[in-house]
Amino acid sequence: MKKIILSAALLLAILIGCKTNSNSSDSKNLNITFESKSNSNVTGTATFTEKKGKVTFVAKLSGLTPGIHAIHIHEKSDCTAADGSSAGGHWNPTFKKHGKWGVGEYHRGDIGNFMADEKGNGTITLTTDEWAIGGEDATKNILGKGLIVHQGADDFTSQPAGNAGARVACSAIIK
């Protein structure tokens, strides 16, 4: 009888330990900072939070010209070029046409457009299960990519990148 109680207690301790570990590893956070590009004054931050298989992305920017701007994930976490070109093209691990997020074909990096107010401040939020902060699936893993803010709006049709104009801010998506 003592052996059964001891075994049950050990099994319960193992199960509780497994549950605690899975919950703590289920949430990941990544905070990054933009640097100005193309002689702009654009700065800001972005946060990626992964919980229960979904990533929520929030970018807050300032120094923009009032109006609509595009933001995309690009292939490389390299922001060394003065014009942001070192980040490469849009991140497109599933080899789709450029387009509007959630409508027809689109790149995994095609986040979309957001509005900058009259003071040049803008925010964009997106939640998706098509990204992951790390992990084995290269078609979802955003680490090692770049985040680019463009001078203008994405037209969602021009190939391969939406004709959004100069790259005015860049950040590497790295831990």
In a domain, 2, yes or no: no
In a domain, 65, yes or no: yes
Q: How far apart are the first and last CA of the chain?
A: 51
Averaged pLDDT of the chain: 88
Q: What is the pTM of this model?
A: 0.84
**Using one digit for the tens of pLDDT, what is the confidence trace for 48-99?**
999 999 999 999 999 999 999 999 999 999 999 999 999 999 999 999 999 9
Helix (H) or strand (E) segment spanning residue 69: strand 67-74
* CATH value at residue 77: 2.60.40.200
Residue with tokens 């298989």: 53
Q: What is the mean pLDDT of residues 140-152?
A: 97
- Domain around 109: 27-173
pLDDT value, residue 30: 96
What total number of domains does the chain contain? 1
State the pLDDT confidence band at 118, using cuts at 50, 70 and 90: very high
Q: By C-alpha distance, which of 86, 90, 95 is closest to 75?
A: 90
